[in-house]
Amino acid sequence: MITEILKVLENDARATTKQLAAMTGLPGTEVSRLIKQAEEDRIILKYKTMINWGRAGEEQIWALIEVKITPQQEVGFDAVAERIYLFPQVRTAYLLSGTYDLLVVVTGKTMHEIADFVAQELAPIEGVRGTVTHFVLKRYKEDGEILEGGGEAKRQPVIL
């Protein structure tokens, strides 16, 4: 049952205990207990509101930064990754397979602010061997939500 509750909350963090109880057939007290336990176990990490800052009149510049790292003995990539993901500009950090080791998503008010972050904070970290920065020109869809257009995406028919 917790999986059902988690799936609903992942798509709608505002779902009430009463709504979740109706969907799962569990008593509201049991739903509350399961949610509290999931929070304590860090299964539920955060309840999130997604904002389209462009529509709110506050543009944010987003960048995807590929980072090449020299792994450290006994801790691998984790110690360098932690130094990077603790910066407040970093929204997301992933360990990757392939040419680069980390993908870091950062936001800033200007491209210059992000460039300064890369040059002054990120690149000098011991173990960082190189970076490639990609500035996001337009975000279409994020976390399953279409950001522009407001409706469902119209898919092209597949002709076999």
pLDDT of residue 151 exceeding 60, the answer is: no
Query: Band of the pLDDT at 155, cuts 50, 70, 90?
Result: low
Task: Answer yes or no: do 82 and 126 share one domain.
Answer: yes
Task: Answer yes or no: do 35 and 66 share one domain.
Answer: no
Residue 39 C-beta-side C-alpha neighbours within 13 Å: 9
Task: Answer yes or no: do 134 and 79 share one domain.
Answer: yes
pLDDT in tens, 83-138: 999 999 999 999 999 999 999 999 999 999 999 999 999 999 999 999 999 999 99
Looking at the structure of the chain, the number of domains it has is 2
Instruction: Tell me the residue range of the domain where 97 lies.
Output: 61-139
Q: How far apart are CA 156 and CA 144, in angstroms?
A: 19
Task: Answer yes or no: do 133 and 81 share one domain.
Answer: yes
Say what the pTM is: 0.79
DSSP bridge partners of 64? 105, 134
Query: Band of the pLDDT at 69, cuts 50, 70, 90?
Result: very high
For residue 31, count CB atoms less than 10 angstroms from its CB and return exposed for 0-12, middle for 13-18, buried for 19 or more: buried
**In the prediction, which pLDDT does 75 show?**
87
Asked whether the beta carbons of 62 and 100 are under 8 A apart, the reply is: no
54 lies in a domain?
Answer: no
Q: How far apart are CA 124 and CA 85, in angstroms?
A: 15
What's the one-letter identity of residue 94? Y
The sign one gets for the Cα dihedral 132, 133, 138, 144 is positive
Q: What is the mean pLDDT of residues 11-39?
A: 94
Q: Which of 125, 114, 17, 98 is nearest to 65 (CA)?
A: 114
- What's the mean pLDDT when you consider all of the chain? 91
Report the run of H or E that residue 128 belongs to, with start and end. Answer: strand 128-135
pLDDT of residue 23 exceeding 90, the answer is: yes
Task: Answer yes or no: do 65 and 126 share one domain.
Answer: yes
| Percent of the chain residues past pLDDT 90, beyond the cut | 72
Task: Answer yes or no: do 73 and 132 share one domain.
Answer: yes
pLDDT of residue 157 exceeding 70, the answer is: no
148 lies in a domain?
Answer: no
